[in-house]
Chains A and B, each alone.
Chain A
Amino acid sequence: EDQVTQSPEALRLQEGESSSLNCSYTVSGLRGLFWYRQDPGKGPEFLFTLYSAGEEKEKERLKATLTKKESFLHITAPKPEDSATYLCAVRNDYKLSFGAGTTVTVRA
């Protein structure tokens, strides 16, 4: 059974204080690792796809990286608008398995 574990559950940052979120996974045949952002009361919004170890993707202050057992989402010099819950997921055939998420709060 596919498992996705995210840590920490919550992260409070000062504006400009860079940090990283962790997503560890076990899956029988990885067909992609995906990061999403979810704002309160909204549906998740797709951010990145990673397929192979060593791959990196960037978008504004976010950078996602992938190893054989985990993925990291690095937030560089965050701003209050980066406050959200970040979800990672792994794909197996036509199904996605999500982690419980990391809630990031960035204070001005």
Chain B
Amino acid sequence: NAGVTQTPKFQVLKTGQSMTLQCAQDMNHEYMSWYRQDPGMGLRLIHYSVGAGITDQGEVPNGYNVSRSTTEDFPLRLLSAAPSQTSVYFCASTEGAGKTGELFFGEGSRLTVL
């Protein structure tokens, strides 16, 4: 099993550009989520999904969209990138909503917005 795979690992954008961070898991996990990690602020939840076709907002959803058309994939879309979105983004998954605390994380995607 590859676990949770995130692409790309590094990306540089200009302000106003859009892009999609990809996340795929091969563990048949129902629950998937996206976090951003900034120095001194810890991990903050952006969006999460308890199953295919179901998504919900986390703590910092503005400027981001998600969809969950399959169990395996949970892409994160930046609609119009801003410098405040410079961060490290982590995708995480777990068996189901009842195991929300025991997450498997990807290696992260480091995004810089100029």
Contact = CB atoms under 8 A, between A and B. Distances in A.
Interface of A: 4, 31-32, 34, 41-46, 49, 87, 89, 91, 93-101
A34 B101 contact: yes
Interface of B: 4, 31, 33, 35, 40-45, 48, 50, 56, 58-59, 90, 92, 97, 100-108
A98 B43 contact: yes
For the complex, would chain B's binding face be called helix, strand, loop or mixed by DSSP majority? strand
A94 B90 contact: no
Nearest to A47: B102
B108 A42 contact: yes
B46 to A, nearest CB: 11
Nearest to B91: A43
Nearest to A50: B101
B100 A96 contact: yes
Contact of B97 (A34, A49, A94): A94
B100 A42 contact: no
A46 B42 contact: no
A87 to B, nearest CB: 7
A46 B104 contact: yes
Residue of A45, A95, A101 ringed by the most chain B CB atoms within 10 A: A95
B56 A94 contact: yes
Contact of A100 (B40, B101, B107): B40
Contacts of B97: 94
B38 to A, nearest CB: 9
B101 A43 contact: no
